[in-house]
């Protein structure tokens, strides 16, 4: 999850701007929780999944997988 669209309940500003201490703390916490796939958008994750399925189908068609 990214903080691009989140609005702070404390100051009503976008969390990505980090205007108040609550925004800055939330932004910092989200950046630490992202992990390997945290920066990917849902569309990019779907495209990655489609590519993985396509590779699996091609591998099976060529007899590489069981």
pLDDT tens digits, residue range 7-36? 888 999 998 888 999 989 988 887 777 666
Distance CA 11, CA 48 (A): 37
The residue count for the chain? 66
Between residues 52 and 34, which one has the greater pLDDT? 52
pTM of the model as a whole: 0.47
């Amino acid at each position: 999850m990214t903080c691009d669209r989140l609005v702070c309940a404390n100051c009503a500003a976008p969390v990505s701007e980090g205007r108040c201490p609550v925004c800055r703390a939330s932004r910092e916490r989200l950046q630490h929780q992202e992990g390997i796939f945290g920066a990917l958008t849902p569309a990019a994750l779907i495209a990655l999944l489609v590519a993985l399925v396509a590779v699996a189908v091609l591998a099976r068609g060529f007899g590489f997988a069981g």
